[in-house]
C-alpha cells in the first residue's frame, strides 16, 4: 500500500511537471509561432535595418500579421534582405505596399509596418516588396539635427 502511494506520488509529480512545461510553452508565448510554416514569405530590401531582429512583428494598421523570418546581407548589392512570413489568411495585401522599419516608442524594439498600396495584384509566396523605408538610426538623426548636415 505504501509502495503504491509512492508510485502514485512520483507519477503525479512527473505528470505535473510536464503539464507545467506544456503550459509555459503554449500559454505564455504567442501561439502563432507554432503555425509559422502555414503562411507565405515575401522579401524586402532595406539599406538600413539596425535594431531589427528575427521574430520581430510585421504589422499592418497596427495589427500583427506576421513575423520577420530572417535577415541577411547581400554582398553584391550591399543592402539587407529581410524575409517576412505572413499568415496565409492575409492574402489580400497589395503588391505595391510599402514596408517600413518602425520603432515601438522612442527607444523601443524595431518592427516592420506595412502600408497598403493600390495595386490589384496581391503579395504571394516569393514576391518582393519594392517600396521600403529603412530604419531611422537615432544617432544619425541626432547628429544631423545638432550639426546641421547636408540638407
Residues found near another protein in the complex (CB under 8 A)? 6-7, 9-10, 12-14, 16-18, 20-21, 23-25, 27-31, 33, 55, 64
Residue 127: HSE in the Cβ half-sphere, 13 Å Cα cutoff: 16
| CB nearer another protein, residue 34 or residue 130 | 34
Residues in Cβ contact with 90 at an 8 Å cutoff, skipping those fewer than 6 apart: 60, 65, 66
Q: Are strands 63-74 and 57-60 parallel, antiparallel or unpaired?
A: antiparallel
| CB nearer another protein, residue 6 or residue 77 | 6
Contact present, 40 and 86 (Cβ < 8 Å)? yes
Nearest approach, Cβ of residue 24 and another protein (Å): 5
| CB nearer another protein, residue 33 or residue 91 | 33
Nearest approach, Cβ of residue 143 and another protein (Å): 28
Pull the grid cell for residue 77: 548589392
Nearest approach, Cβ of residue 122 and another protein (Å): 27
Amino acid at each position: 500500500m505504501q509502495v503504491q502511494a509512492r508510485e502514485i506520488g512520483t507519477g503525479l509529480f512527473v505528470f505535473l511537471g510536464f503539464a507545467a512545461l506544456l503550459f509555459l510553452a503554449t500559454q505564455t508565448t504567442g501561439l502563432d509561432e507554432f503555425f509559422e510554416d502555414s503562411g507565405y514569405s515575401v522579401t524586402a530590401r532595406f539599406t538600413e535595418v539596425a535594431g531589427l531582429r528575427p521574430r520581430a512583428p510585421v504589422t499592418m494598421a497596427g495589427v500583427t500579421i506576421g513575423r520577420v523570418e530572417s535577415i541577411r546581407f547581400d554582398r553584391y548589392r550591399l543592402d539587407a534582405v529581410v524575409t517576412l512570413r505572413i499568415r496565409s489568411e492575409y492574402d489580400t495585401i497589395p503588391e505595391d505596399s510599402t514596408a517600413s522599419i518602425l520603432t515601438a516608442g522612442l527607444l523601443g524594439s524595431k518592427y516592420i509596418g506595412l502600408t497598403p498600396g493600390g495595386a490589384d495584384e496581391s503579395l504571394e509566396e516569393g514576391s518582393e516588396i519594392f517600396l521600403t523605408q529603412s530604419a531611422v538610426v537615432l544617432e544619425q538623426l541626432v547628429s544631423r539635427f545638432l550639426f546641421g548636415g547636408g540638407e
